[in-house]
Structure 1
Amino acid sequence: MLACAVLFAVLALSSLWSEAGEATWLQLMWIVLMLGVLCVVSAAAQLSPKVAVDTFMLLSAVTGIIFAVGGLVLGGSGARLAAFGGGPNVFARITGIGIIAAVFWMLRGKRGWPALLAFIPVMAVANILSGSRGALIGTVCGLLVVCVAFSWRTWLKFGLCTVVASPILFILYGQYGANVEKVVALRIVKLTFEEGYTSGRDTLWEHATSSMSENPVFGTGLGSFMTNNGFYTHNLFLQVGVDAGLLGLAVLTVALLVLVRGLWTKNTRSPVVLGPLAAGTTIFVASMVSGDHYDTRFFWAYLILACAAAGRIRSKTSGKAGACSSEPTEVPPHRI
């Protein structure tokens, strides 16, 4: 939490040399909101990491289901699926994390996990129909992370659930199969692999790199790139570099290293660690090609939860090792 707070403080300080005007105040408001969310998550994780992780992941699964159903039912006639006023990229992140959270709930063996698994095909279809390639790759990467916690029994359980849910798959294919095939053929195969279409990301990244070269140490200030170009950079590292220069990038790197160090535990296959880590991985991968500071707020939240869970596992492990130690222990006076 401290590492994240330092990063956001540096970004906030960059507003002092920004010329973005109202855009700077909007970015500052987002940073304050991000810190508020992270403080609540951090406090909950300190009280009980497992309860905090379980609650956050359950809410993530329910939110993913609500967005997926809302997008499929009320998505309208747009070319890319979205819901509740948000864009397709945000929609895809939410549904992707919902899939991971449903798998996590199965790994934890919590009550109602079959019902959440039954909605995975719905969220998967919604995720693909969003057309967000970055979020789709992020979802796949997140699933690879959470699958590390799978045992052969888990794979068997997951396979049986897939067989039982096959009627849902047939219904979804009959309703949305043609649209899914169209999105895969057009946005993924043709635009991405054949034409190399980047939705203008390459131009934005060139502008961001140029801006960083002109102001390498402290950057151009919070919100300046958005004001000058009409878009954010669609890359977390470039966004921090443009706003706060090498200073911001150094603090961002340290924050990520602190989080990675906090995740280290011998029991690396624990679902309470891998679940939020997988959700954070989805957002992190997607943030390489989409979004700005505010869009990555839950990346930090999931990683803080994963670190808290890993820390609790480490403390229990060291406690057991201490209990087995041959060192003599002092007997309290009232026990003599």
Structure 2
Amino acid sequence: MNSEPGRPGLVVVIAFIVTLAGRFTLSRTGLDLPIVNDVRVPLFFVLLLSLILEAHRMGPHPVTGVTALFGILALLLYQGFSALWVPPGTPTGPVVGDLCAVAGLLIVYFTLANWDRDRVTATTLVLFHIAAWVYFLAAATGRGHAAGGRWAALGGGPNVFVRLMILGVITSIYLYLRSGERLIWLIPIPVFLFGAIASGSRGGIVALGLTIVIALLAIRPKLDFDRLAKPLGLLLVVGAVLVITAGPSIAGFVQSRFVEATIGEGYASQRDVLFRMALRIFLQRPILGTGVSGFYTVTDLGPGEKYVHNLPLSIAAEGGSAGLALLLVAWIGLWQAYVAVPARERSLESRTAAYCGIFIGGTSLFSGDYYDARLMWILLLLAAVRPAPEHVPLSR
């Protein structure tokens, strides 16, 4: 007699911790342990061990959408191989390690989705919500702030902070809908938006705007303004209270960062310079690019600017047209897997993961490197794959 398969739990939490930890090193805490200084080494070991130990509890039915995974892995594999034609003296080891880590995480999450996609996605979304609160409360104490008073926390910069804040907003909406529209889940939204503004991340705010536009285009036919009146009223009240009580603490920062520097002076944190350099490198090496991490060597901008802060431009400069083609294939594969499911049959978890992934993709146009894009790939993959139909035995 076959027993019911187990439900994924602790292993999803471990996978989330590994994903969120990023490139945190023990040297930040004053320790120097050669092998485990990069915490990904012990964390990946624990994750893989836990996955192996739980393998016997997984269900028998796979998910569809494996081609979407193969598309992303093909891009990562090509980027790794591009280390073969980098300029002399280019440090490729750390970046290749990052690419391997992203590939490993994607395989782990696909395996977990193969186990129970919606439960894995739901648990991951709840963990993002919890992480958003942890980061906000840590930043609210004043610890970890970046230069100029920009909010950050727990060793991550402002651009990491804003990603978690907006993921907190999206997961608040998810929890509101999942709970049967209990208004209490909407209260954190103004709080997280406050944190996003306090981060000073203009790219994060633009990415949020892009995500909202895409979401409105998708749900516009289903909008019920009578149904929205009460939640919008609550958000306005909570937002007004927050602005009155806490707004003055960041009013000067908002004025200098967003109004004077951005609008008045056109300050772009050198992103415009980096983007032009990446485009020039692509035009000079249009087929294969400089190879992974080659942008840093070719531009010689110093230790502060190692990458382009724009995922497509970075791939264009370092991977050429071949890399851009693989990036397009990866995105198209995810999109085709997602729309293969009729809209009425998509789970709330799948739709929420899609919007989270779109937002992270938007932020990848303004900040971060290849490893920082891992959340985009993971969330879009969870949105795209779906449980396969029940296996029907072949007739004899």
- Any conservation in 2 of the 1:121–1:169 contact (CA below 8 Å)? yes
Task: Give the match for residue 108 of structure 2.
Answer: 40
Distance 1:158 1:180 in 2: 26
Consecutive unaligned residues of structure 2, counting only runs of 5 or more, are 1-68
Change (3 A) 1:278 1:87: same
1:85 has 2:155 as partner: yes
Q: How does 1:226-245 map to 2 (within 5 A)?
A: 226-227=296-297, 228-230=300-302, 231=305, 232-245=307-320
Cα deviation digits, residues 282-326 of structure 1 (max 9, x gap): 111111111111111110001001102xx44x969xx9xxxxxxx
1:13 has 2:81 as partner: yes
Distance 1:52 1:157 in 2: 31
Pairing partner for 2:129 from 45, 61, 70: 61
Task: Give the match for residue 267 of structure 1.
Answer: 343
- Shift of residue 175 of structure 1? 4.1
Task: Give the match for residue 23 of structure 2.
Answer: none
- Shift of residue 44 of structure 1? 1.5
Task: Give the match for residue 108 of structure 1.
Answer: 178
Cα deviation digits, residues 111-148 of structure 1 (max 9, x gap): 9x655433222211110010101111212333445565
- Shift of residue 190 of structure 1? 3.2
Identity, % of aligned pairs? 28
- Shift of residue 270 of structure 1? 4.8
Distance 1:139 1:260 in 2: 20
Range with bigger deviation, 224-233 or 140-149? 140-149
Task: Give the match for residue 328 of structure 2.
Answer: 253
- RMSD in angstroms over aligned alpha carbons? 2.9
- Shift of residue 22 of structure 1? 6.9
Distance 2:384 2:124 in 1: 14
Distance 1:63 1:289 in 2: 22
Pairing partner for 1:138 from 176, 199, 207: 207
Cα deviation digits, residues 139-167 of structure 1 (max 9, x gap): 2333445565575375245236437xx4x
Task: Give the match for residue 304 of structure 1.
Answer: 381
The alignment's TM-score, normalised by the length of structure 2, stands at 0.71
1:119 has 2:188 as partner: yes
Distance 1:49 1:128 in 2: 33
Task: Give the match for residue 265 of structure 2.
Answer: 195
The alignment's TM-score, normalised by the length of structure 1, stands at 0.83
- The structure whose residues are more often helix, as a share, is 1
Distance 2:168 2:320 in 1: 34
Change (3 A) 1:185 1:52: same
Task: Give the match for residue 99 of structure 1.
Answer: 169
- Any conservation in 2 of the 1:93–1:139 contact (CA below 8 Å)? no
Distance 1:263 1:128 in 2: 32
Distance 2:378 2:314 in 1: 19
Change (3 A) 1:67 1:143: farther
What is the aligned residue count?
313
Change (3 A) 1:140 1:4: same
What SS class does the counterpart of residue 229 from structure 1 fall into?
coil
Distance 2:144 2:79 in 1: 38
Consecutive unaligned residues of structure 1, counting only runs of 5 or more, are 320-331
Distance 1:197 1:136 in 2: 16
- Any conservation in 2 of the 1:107–1:154 contact (CA below 8 Å)? no
The residue identity in structure 2 corresponding to 1:102 is S
Range with bigger deviation, 257-266 or 2-11? 257-266
Change (3 A) 1:162 1:207: closer
Cα deviation digits, residues 12-40 of structure 1 (max 9, x gap): 00111224757311101111111121112
